[in-house]
Amino acid sequence: MHVVDHTKGQPSESETRNVLTESARIARGKITDLARLSADNHDAAIFPGGFGAAKNLSTFAVDGKDCKVNEDVERVLKEFHKAGKPIGLCCIAPVLAAKVLRGVEVTVGHEQEEGGKWPYAGTAEAIKALGAKHCVKGVTEAHVDQKNKVVTTPAFMCEAELHHIHDGIGAMVKKVLELCGK
């Protein structure tokens, strides 16, 4: 959508970036275009979230509950779901599942801001408006929708110390692996 200069907290007017190139830079490893991802070749899919999920993988940042989801993201979610393979999503990414998988249970944390601890608490209402069930969870917890094999955790939806966010993401990954039988 746009490049943010995080030293200023504002969009950079003169800079552009490629999502695939940035993903390779951050991952420091071999990556593949999402268009090539298939449930046939993988045990699970995990979407890490962050503003990129709300701005590049969907239009949620601009359109809220009326968002559109990137066609490859939608395909991957539906394909893994149909195959009965686990899907993990953290931070804002659970809105992707809420939009694509009818009736799914997800969490983005709490439903009230609680004095700024949960600054994106309003996202829970958008999730409900999409026809999904929002389950209140703490930042160190993961919610498991056993029926749909979807595992979610709030991550950076909460203003918390990094080690607490790490614990929640770890819980999500652990539950995804358990659903894979690993």
Q: Could you tell me whether strands 143-145 and 150-153 are parallel, antiparallel, or unpaired per DSSP bridges?
A: antiparallel
Q: Which amino acid is at 156?
A: F
From 67, 90, 91, 135, the catalytic residue:
91
Known catalytic residue at 91 = yes
Question: How many Cα atoms are found within 13 Å in the side-chain-facing hemisphere of 66?
Answer: 2
- Residue 50 region, left (φ>0) first, then alpha (ψ -120 to 50), else beta? left
The two three-digit tokens of residue 57, written as one number:
């993988």
CB-based burial of residue 23 (10 Å sphere; 0-12 exposed, 13-18 middle, 19+ buried)? Answer: middle
- As annotated, the active-site residues are 91
